[in-house]
Amino acid sequence: MRILLTIVSILIGCTYLQAQQNQLVADHTDIQKAFALAKQDFASFEKAHGHFSTTKNGRMHYLTWGKPSDVPLVWSHGSLTNALELLTLADSLVNAGYYVLAIDYYGHGQTPIPAHEVSLYHVADDIKWILDELNIKKAVIGGWSRGGMISTAFYDAYPDRVLGLILEDGGSVSTNTFYHKMESAQLTRRIDELFKDRYPDTTYASEFAAYRAIYDTTQQGSQFDLLAWIRSVNGGRWAISPGVLDLFNMKTPDQFRANILHPTQVPLFAESMSVLEPKIIFRNLSVPVLILDPTSPNDLFPFETENAALQKQHPHLIDHKIYPNCGHNIHYERPNQFLTDIANFLATVKTHNRVR
């Protein structure tokens, strides 16, 4: 688990996973029982909420909660998580009036990485494909971190399908803005710091072994959502989020540096993350936008000034919510405020779009 924790804390600062780093050594038999229950719980949950759609880019998995007659909210998760990111929040979002549709994008959850090159915009195409299948004309499009970037790409590609945007610390400012302000030596130190505690990739002999590695003994229940992280790999082994860092071109410091400094020379998915420019995409903004902006001394994306400038350009459309002393993962650290802000945003969306 420490391998995954290190990767996640470096890339996305996922507090939920960091909390698991303090897990105790649990009795093997107890974890076997939890694993058996997790398999049952996962199957039951998927039967109630899980769906697949075969798009041009492969077999996309997504989850739904609520009534299709309510306002659709399409959610794209952050790096190294999956559609279950909203598991503990979905019922509250439904009670607020949303029909929640959360996708797994490439390499996450139950959606494989396509054999051909893909980008953020390919994910946007997949979302549009799913909306067409479900006969959903327009939706609120939102996401966290890279999921926010996907949401912005969707608005760029399909603005007429968007009721409003929710951008949780991602998608409102070009992702490399902070790094481009650094001198070369400062950037090198920053990258070296991010990568200094990396561990090599690990595989496991069985699905149970992988589950046991990430099972949190300080928590109760089957923790069935952990199964969405675990995938079979070559040679009959099992791994946690295999291939994702290759997709992001972020396995080494040199790759990360290339993403920042030479984005047109890196694989397409990484390039699309680096070259996305919200200042251009939102120049003619026509829908409400909720920007959720955490600030802290170690802010992963210190874009408060840039977000304020964007809001100033569109004062009647953009609501810039600042979460002081909060890490990157707002929906985990401040769930009540997160839910309140998103529930209130629904009223704005309905008024703007004249939706009942």
What is the signed CA dihedral for 304, 305, 309, 310, rounded to 10 degrees?
Answer: -30
State residue 198's pLDDT score: 73
User: Which tokens belong to 73?
Assistant: 């909210």
User: Which tokens belong to 64?
Assistant: 């739904």
State residue 201's pLDDT score: 76
State residue 255's pLDDT score: 97
Q: Looking at the domain assignment, is residue 109 inside a domain?
A: yes
State residue 4's pLDDT score: 38
User: Which tokens belong to 70?
Assistant: 């309510």
Q: Looking at the domain assignment, is residue 299 inside a domain?
A: yes
Q: Looking at the domain assignment, is residue 27 inside a domain?
A: no
Q: What global pTM score does this model have?
A: 0.92
Q: Are 163 and 138 in contact (CB under 8 A)?
A: yes
Expressed as residue numbers, the domain containing 290 is: 47-190+244-344
Q: Looking at the domain assignment, is residue 356 inside a domain?
A: no
Q: Looking at the domain assignment, is residue 336 inside a domain?
A: yes
Q: Looking at the domain assignment, is residue 277 inside a domain?
A: yes
State residue 8's pLDDT score: 52
User: Which tokens belong to 328?
Assistant: 């990157």
State residue 204's pLDDT score: 96
User: Which tokens belong to 188?
Assistant: 């090198």
Task: Give the distance, in angstroms, between the CA of residue 106 and the centroid of all CA atoms in the same chain.
Answer: 11
Q: Are 163 and 96 in contact (CB under 8 A)?
A: no
Residues of the chain below pLDDT 70:
1-26, 199
Q: Looking at the domain assignment, is residue 259 inside a domain?
A: yes
Q: Looking at the domain assignment, is residue 321 inside a domain?
A: yes
Say how many domains are in the chain. Answer: 1
259 φ, ψ (degrees, to nearest 5): -60, -35
- Domain with 77 in it: what CATH number? 3.40.50.1820
* Upper half-sphere CA count for residue 346 (Cβ side, 13 Å): 18
The rounded distance, in Å, linking the Cα atoms of 294 and 34 is 35
